[in-house]
Each structure stands twice: as structure tokens, then as C-alpha cells.
Chains A and B, each alone.
Chain A
Amino acid sequence: GAVVSQHPSWVICKSGTSVKIECRSLDFQATTMFWYRQFPKQSLMLMATSNEGSKATYEQGVEKDKFLINHASLTLSTLTVTSAHPEDSSFYICSAGTGVNEQYFGPGTRLTVT
């Protein structure tokens, strides 16, 4: 149980285009979902926290207009990288929480912007 999927697992896009990444909790309902980005050989940096039906809370330094997060249901959250640029290339990982301090991580999405 407690499986989280991400789609796509790998995406290449051209600079200036937008990319949407989906995060789904497959066998449980997630009260909260988190989005992280990870640069090569670095740690995970929390980008934002989202609760179903409400606006996401972004961490300091994360542009909310560039990284749009939608949490429309208890099993789906999406991250849209708008007007992507090469510096947005990264590994994006989502996690889903069922309660206090229980998070299950997705397999990640590697975004490459050319």
C-alpha cells in the first residue's frame, strides 16, 4: 500500500513552453501533497505544500507564478512549470501525506529544458 506515482517520469521541452507533472496517490487519500526539486548530487528542496481544495503554500524563494500547483482532489496534485528555461531543468519529486509525519514519495520526474 501507500503508492505514489508521477507522470511523466521523464520529459524534454523547449525553452519558453510549459510542462505539467502529475502526482497521484494510488491506494490512499492524501490530505497534503508536497513538491520538491533536486539538483544533481544535491538534497531535496521543498518547493511547496498543497492541501486539497486550497491554495498551495510556497517556500521562500519559489516563484508561485512560475510553478503552478493544483490539488484538485485527494489523490491528484499537479505541478506546472510555466515558461520553462534551462535553469528549471531538475528532478522533481512529489510526496503525499496521510497524516502527521507520514509521507510517501513518488519516483520523480526528470525535466530537461533545451
Chain B
Amino acid sequence: AQSVTQLDSQVPVFEEAPVELRCNYSSSVSVYLFWYVQYPNQGLQLLLKYLSGSTLVKGINGFEAEFNKSQTSFHLRKPSVHISDTAEYFCAVSDPGSSASKIIFGSGTRLSIRP
């Protein structure tokens, strides 16, 4: 079965500093990987996704993530964060071979930006 581990439940960062949110997945087959952002009392917004091809994926709001198959990781990075990036971030995985498109979410990382 697939699973996702987000190693940090909270990450405090100063404004304009770089940030990395860690994500590791467990799967015996190939995977699709996603990062979503959730602002308070809102639904989820897709930041970026890896389906195939280049292992470096660029998303919205200046975020990017790198798929590392050997380390089974998909860490999210941003070179300079803003106050508006304060939110909950979820890493997620799905099985390309599944017609149900079921997505499994990690436990989330709360990113808090300090001025």
C-alpha cells in the first residue's frame, strides 16, 4: 500500500528565508506525487505535481519540488518565503495504474512565517 510521510509537523521560518518541506513516500510501484496548500478554513489548492519526465517540478507561487526515486522523496522548496505563504502544506501520492485516481495524503506541515 502507498503511504506518505511528512517528517515535520511544523516549520517556522523567517520572512525572505529559504524553506524546505520534507516528504517521503512508500510505494512498490511507480507513483504520481503532489503538493497541495491549504489556507485556514479553505479547501486544497494544487501547488505542483510530478507525473513523469523531469524530476524538478516547478509550481505556483514560486515553489518547486524534486522527485528523487532512489531516496523516495519529493521535498518542496522555495528560495524566499513571504508572510502570505503561511499555511498548511500536504504531500500526496497516487497510483498511476489505478483508474480510481485515489490520492493518499500525508499528515501535513504547518509553515509559519515570522517577520
Interface residues of A (CB under 8 A from B): 4, 6, 32, 34, 41-44, 46, 49, 57, 91, 93, 95, 97, 99-103, 105-108, 110
Contact of A107 among B42, B94, B99 (CB under 8 A): B42
**In contact, B102 and A49 (Cβ under 8 angstroms):** yes
A-B residue pairs in contact (CB < 8 Å), sample of 7: A32-B100, A34-B103, A46-B104, A49-B100, A100-B96, A101-B32, A105-B36
**In contact, A43 and B106 (Cβ under 8 angstroms):** yes
Contact of B44 among A57, A93, A110 (CB under 8 A): A93
Across chains A and B, the number of contacting residue pairs, with CB separation under 8 Å, is 56
**In contact, B43 and A93 (Cβ under 8 angstroms):** yes
| Least CB distance, A90 to chain B, in whole angstroms | 13
Q: Could you tell me the distance between the alpha carbons of A87 and B68 in the complex, rounded to whole angstroms?
A: 40
Interface residues of B (CB under 8 A from A): 32, 36, 41-45, 49, 51, 90, 94, 96, 98-108, 110
**In contact, A105 and B44 (Cβ under 8 angstroms):** yes
Q: Which residues on the B side are within 8 Å of A34 (C-beta)? A: 102-103
Known: A32-B101, A97-B101, A100-B99. A108 touches B43 (CB 8 A): yes
